């Protein structure tokens, strides 16, 4: 049988209407709109939100840190910076000068001790604790507590004796007491190698205590006003402080 072809005329909708959404007999559907959004500012108005790669590279290369693959602008800035110890307030040369001035109690250089610091005293305190630890005595807390109490005690005594003319501050007092601990640090190191039991130990301890007492008294009288008239009482206070620390070494 021969195939029959049926010719169906094309369907044409008026004004491009969709038979589902609109047209004759169907209600017109409203197209949903997006919620309200504020207008976005252009990237040119806000410089830090610019995403232009070329402008970002140009601004980075023109900065003071990046010097390019050939230029040495970055290294020059790092060379101008201070060393890390100087930024932390630790000056090894100044610490060594102050320690060396204590080695000779009759020729103490008072000028180097005018700029008080706590870096050198902390170094001497830690050395003292380390030598005591090597001797089998764990006294970190005791030594730290005595250091604080001794500094406050000497500060109060000096200012009470000097009266209104006394200008000794606690920072300077702590620095002086710490640097004058050098003879006792040496005594603590000697106790590891030499037998200091009996009368010999007391004699060596007495010599080193007088050494530390003279150095501390001279520095306090020279660095602060109002202590010349009461040198004996200040020396007695320093003697008590360093005798207390020497007892940790002997016993």
Cα distances from 134 to residues 122, 150, 190, in angstroms, run 18, 24, 12
Q: Does residue 99 sit in the same domain as residue 221? A: yes
Check: CB of residue 161 under 8 Å from CB of residue 217.
no
Q: Does residue 123 sit in the same domain as residue 246? A: yes
Q: What percent of the chain has pLDDT over 90?
A: 35
| Ranges 10-14, 30-34, 73-77, 122-126, most confident | 122-126
Domain assignment present for 149: yes
Cα distances from 201 to residues 114, 116, 123, 141, 158, in angstroms, run 34, 33, 25, 25, 31
Domain assignment present for 46: no
Its pTM surpasses 0.85: no
Q: Does residue 203 sit in the same domain as residue 245? A: yes
Q: How far apart are CA 183 and CA 247, in angstroms?
A: 14
Alpha carbon 167 to its chain centroid, in Å, reads 28
Domain assignment present for 2: no
Check pLDDT > 50 for residue 153. yes
Name the residue range of residue 70's domain: 53-82
Domain assignment present for 34: no
Element containing residue 156 per DSSP (H, E): helix 140-162
Q: Does residue 74 sit in the same domain as residue 149? A: no
Q: Does residue 201 sit in the same domain as residue 103? A: yes
Check pLDDT > 50 for residue 214. yes
Q: How far apart are CA 172 and CA 117, in angstroms?
A: 8
Q: How far apart are CA 94 and CA 116, in angstroms?
A: 10
Domain assignment present for 44: no
* Residue showing tokens 């940790």: 248
* Tokens matching residue 46: 């806000």
Check pLDDT > 80 for residue 135. yes
Phi-psi region of 208 (alpha: psi -120 to 50; beta: other; left: phi over 0): alpha
Domain assignment present for 48: no
* Tokens matching residue 31: 């197209």
Q: What is the pLDDT of residue 68?
A: 47
User: Which residue in 182, 206, 188 sits closest to 120, CA to CA?
Assistant: 182
| Tally of domains in the chain | 2
Q: Does residue 114 sit in the same domain as residue 183? A: yes
User: pLDDT tens across 158-186, in order?
Assistant: 989 888 777 889 999 999 999 999 999 99
The string of DSSP letters for 197-239 reads -THHHHHHHHHHHHHHHHHHHHHHHHHSSS-STTHHHHHHHHH
Least confident of 57-71, 158-172, 194-208, 231-245: 57-71
Domain assignment present for 221: yes
DSSP 26: B
Check pLDDT > 60 for residue 36. no
Q: Does residue 75 sit in the same domain as residue 153? A: no
């Amino acid at each position: 049988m021969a195939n029959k072809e049926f010719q169906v005329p094309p369907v044409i909708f008026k004004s491009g209407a969709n038979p589902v959404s609109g047209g004759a007999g169907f209600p017109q559907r409203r197209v949903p709109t997006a919620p309200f959004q504020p207008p976005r500012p252009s990237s040119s108005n806000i410089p830090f939100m610019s995403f232009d790669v070329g402008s970002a590279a140009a601004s980075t290369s023109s900065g003071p840190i990046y010097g390019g693959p050939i230029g040495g602008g970055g290294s020059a800035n790092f060379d101008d910076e201070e060393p890390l110890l100087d930024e932390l307030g630790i000056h090894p040369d100044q610490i060594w000068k102050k320690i060396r001035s204590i080695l000779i109690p009759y020729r103490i250089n008072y000028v180097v001790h005018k700029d008080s610091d706590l870096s050198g005293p902390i170094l001497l305190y830690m050395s003292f604790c380390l030598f005591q630890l090597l001797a089998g005595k764990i006294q970190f807390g005791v030594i730290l507590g005595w250091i604080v109490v001794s500094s406050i005690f000497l500060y109060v005594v000096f200012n009470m004796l000097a009266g209104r003319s006394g200008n000794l501050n606690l920072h300077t007092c702590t620095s002086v007491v710490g640097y004058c601990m050098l003879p006792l640090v040496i005594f603590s190191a000697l106790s590891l190698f030499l037998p200091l039991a009996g009368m010999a130990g007391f004699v060596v301890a007495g010599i080193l205590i007088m050494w530390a007492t003279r150095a501390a008294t001279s520095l306090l009288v020279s660095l602060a006003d109002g202590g010349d008239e009461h040198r004996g009482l200040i020396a007695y206070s320093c003697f008590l402080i360093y005798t207390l620390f020497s007892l940790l070494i002997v016993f």
